[in-house]
Amino acid sequence: MHNICETSPLSRIPSPGFVRGVLIATYIVGILFVCPPVWASNDGKPVDVLLEIAEKGDPEAQYNIGVIYFYGKGVPQNQANAFAWFNKAAEQGYSAAQYALGRMYYYGQGVQKSGDQAMVWFRKAAEKGYADAQFALGVMSQFGKYVAKDLDEAVRWYSAASNSGLAAAQYALGAMYSLGEGVEKDLVKGIEWLKKANAQNYEPAGQTLLIIESGTPDVEIKIKEVQSKLPDSL
**pLDDT for the residue 169:** 98
The sign one gets for the Cα dihedral 102, 99, 206, 171 is positive
Say if domain 1-128 classifies as CATH 1.25.40.10. yes
Asked, colleague to colleague, whether 1-128 and 131-234 share their fold, the answer is yes
Residue 130: per-residue pLDDT: 98
**Does pLDDT of 33 surpass 80?**
no
Instruction: Look up the pTM and report it.
Output: 0.82
Average pLDDT value for residue range 196-203: 98
Least confident among 42-46, 80-84, 88-92, 206-210: 42-46
d(C-alpha 82, C-alpha 181), whole Å: 37
Q: What is the pLDDT of residue 46?
A: 78
What secondary structure does DSSP assign to 29-60, as a single string? HHHHTTSTTGGGG--SHHHHHHHHHHHTT-HH
d(Cα 97, Cα 230) in Å, to the nearest integer?
22
At 48, is the pLDDT very low, low, confident or very high (cuts 50, 70, 90)? confident
The confidence score (pLDDT) of residue 161 equals 98
b/e map 98-115, b = 16+ CB within 10 Å: bbbbbbbbbeebbbeebe
pLDDT in tens, 115-171: 999 999 999 999 999 999 999 999 999 999 999 999 999 999 999 999 999 999 999
pLDDT, average across residues 26-41: 38
pLDDT over 90 at 20, yes or no: no
- What are the residue ranges spanned by the domains of the chain? 1-128, 131-234
Determine contact, residues 63/97, Cβ cutoff 8 Å. Answer: yes
- SS3 of 157, please? helix
pLDDT of residue 110: 96
Half-sphere exposure of 65 (CA within 13 A, CB side): 27
Would you list the DSSP string of 160-178? HHHHTT-HHHHHHHHHHHH
Q: Confidence band (pLDDT; 50, 70, 90) for 216? A: confident
**How far is residue 101's CA from residue 31's CA, in Å, rounded to a whole number?**
19
pLDDT at 45: 52
Q: What would be the CATH architecture of the domain defined by 131-234?
A: Alpha Horseshoe (1.25)
For the chain, give the mean pLDDT.
85
